Amino acid sequence: MTFVAAARMRDPALAAWTVLRFAQKPVSLADILFANDDVAQSARPTLADTIHLLDRWRGAGLIQRIEKPECYIMQAEARAFRDPPAVGETAREPKPRSTRQRIWSAVRVMRSFDLVEICFAATVEARAARRILNELTRAGFLTRTDRAGDDHPRWRLTRPSGPLHPRIEYAGRTMVAMVDRNSGARFPLAPSQKILAGEINHVS
């Protein structure tokens, strides 16, 4: 394989296009995905990305999918293109958002809420919500605003930030800080005993 050919095969789209362009018979999905065995596994495209790429080409009429077994073959007129032509992006199925992300998104919208409200808005279980909210409180993103007579604990957003949820930073197995992934700022966690005291002593 020449240097130019090897370089082309390192690009997932070019590799898939090249395999399909020169194939004399339908090509399996596995053969497209592993078009170049010399490429490190970490550099290979994921199965989902490969299928998405093939679906875009199929939607543009460049290739045809053959069922049972699943194979692909390039249309005769498409073989005239050395490189894949630009085609419109198709909608992808959104990835399920994590519990932590759903809670953070709801927090940013509601800004002030109790445990029941946040669980309903973020569609999460109370136990998971309480744990994550307490972590955000220890890092200063939230403040407890319980009042005497409240049936459920309440919080208020006190450190607004962007759409990405803060991530936990560990030292060994111990949580030591939260990092704002929008700004890069790091906030050490307050001792959990202080937060536990807030669970008992409601603010009047």
The string of pLDDT tens digits covering residues 156-170 is: 999 999 888 999 999
How far is the CA of 44 from the CAs of 15, 29, 183, 184, in angstroms? Answer: 11, 14, 30, 29
Q: In whole numbers, what is the pLDDT of the chain averaged over residues? A: 81
Fold of domain 3-80: Arc Repressor Mutant, subunit A (1.10.10)
The CA distances from residue 66 to 58, 70, 180, in Å, are: 11, 6, 47
Q: Does 204 have pLDDT greater than 50?
A: no
**What mean pLDDT is predicted for residues 111-127?**
91
In the predicted structure, residue 121 carries a pLDDT above the cut 70: yes
CATH 1.10.10.10 for domain 99-200: yes
Judge if the upstream peptide bond of residue 188 is cis by omega within 30 degrees of 0: no
Annotated domain spans of the chain: 3-80, 99-200
Q: How distant, in Å, are the alpha carbons of 73, 128, 144, 161, 188 from that of 185?
A: 50, 24, 22, 10, 10
Distance CA 120, CA 81 (A): 52
Amino acid at 113: F
Q: Once rounded to an integer, what is the mean pLDDT over residues 63-83?
A: 86
Q: Is there a shared CATH topology between the 3-80 domain and the 99-200 domain? A: yes
pLDDT band at 71 (very low <50, low <70, confident <90, very high): confident
* pLDDT at 89 (0 to 100): 54
